[in-house]
A and B are shown apart, each in its own frame.
Chain A
């Protein structure tokens, strides 16, 4: 990286690496290519084809799947003729009834509330971008969604289900319900959502919409 003179700089002509703060010329990789920071190796951008359209479609699918994943039974266990079936929420309630309020809240947030908010925000944002509708909350929604990303732990929950099932299989026969299949589909969709989201493109589009809105006012 050559030393750059401060005088010729304009804030829009440069970029900085989020993790090592190297001043960069903005990389503009083509679709399917990746741009890495030359100094620390961080993946800077990886544009996907039709990111807005794909995000919009996946958010709709995820939003619909959220409900069967939460309200249909996932795993059933039979002991001495008694059948117990588990839902996402019933695990939270069981912890709550045992007096583990803090753990119940954490599980509720990471496996029910945050995924719902995340998908709703993604639906709102991509919907506004898809139909070119300006909204002054767009930037705020986008910030919330990016901050929430790490706290949506559906795939960790799935691993928890697998470990729990392996432990229970030794004790009693298990039955898997439609809720579990919907849940797995929901995880595939949220993973595709987060990996296919081109946040650079989204911020550019949000900025364009804001300018358009200011122009019309």
Chain B
């Protein structure tokens, strides 16, 4: 099944942590250079990624429905959802910053969920694709994930600074859900093994 030019098909395992190439053995072994456990491919890559992706997907719903922060002015609360905060930025004329937050907190997480889903389907159903393009997609997904934490950090700063008796900003329940989505999808991307895409290509 494996593409013949792959190191694993030729009887070699590349250490995940230090990149040392060792001869494949049948029993569990550790890397002679860095002592980490050797695996030909990430263990249970598809199962783990699927589980993390689904948890991320379900938490993405409360993250968008519930308010991410409450602005209390003289006792009157004004809840903001993620989308609401962006609309407010647009309305007050701060379009570049609004676009930045739109990309970081809406486009990146949702495209990431879809992208990892597609990668999983591709690896599972052994689609014959241009593996190079799909690997680039994986690389982009793995790279941009952390930037979604922007909203969470922004809230931690706002909550800290805007705390005057009459005017207060309080973090809402969506913040926890959103932070969880970002972290779960980061773990999902980390657990996905892009080499599975290459293993399935028969015309290499």
> Which residues of A are at the interface with B, using a C-beta cutoff of 8 A?
1, 3-4, 6, 9, 11-12, 14-16, 18-23, 39-42, 75, 77, 79-80, 82, 84, 86, 90-95, 98, 100, 102-104, 106-107, 110-111, 139-140, 142-143, 146-147, 150-151, 153, 156-157, 159-164, 166-168, 170-171, 199-200, 203, 206-207
A14-B12, A167-B158 in contact; A82/B164 too (CB < 8 A)?
A: yes
In the bound assembly, the distance between CA atoms of A159 and B103 in angstroms comes to: 13
Return 18 A-B CB contacts under 8 Å, by A number: A9-B12, A12-B21, A19-B195, A20-B131, A21-B7, A22-B5, A22-B198, A23-B6, A23-B7, A39-B5, A86-B161, A98-B159, A143-B34, A150-B190, A161-B154, A161-B157, A168-B161, A203-B19
Choice from B22, B94, B155, B156 contacting A11 with Cβ under 8 Å? B22
A163 touches B100 (CB 8 A): yes
- For B98-114 the 0/1 string (1 means CB < 8 A from A) is 00110010000000000
A79 touches B149 (CB 8 A): no
Closest to A138 in B: B34
Closest to A166 in B: B97
B17 touches A143 (CB 8 A): yes
The reply on B128 being an interface residue by CB < 8 A is: no
A19-B139, A139-B35, A143-B34 in contact; A159/B147 too (CB < 8 A)?
A: yes
In the bound assembly, the distance between CA atoms of A146 and B149 in angstroms comes to: 20
A94 touches B159 (CB 8 A): yes
Closest to A160 in B: B153
A164 touches B179 (CB 8 A): no
> Which residues of B are at the interface with A, using a C-beta cutoff of 8 A?
4-8, 10-12, 14, 17-23, 33-36, 89, 92, 94, 97, 100-101, 104, 131-132, 135-136, 138-139, 146-147, 149-164, 167, 170-171, 175-176, 179-180, 183, 186, 190, 194-195, 197-199
A159 touches B150 (CB 8 A): yes
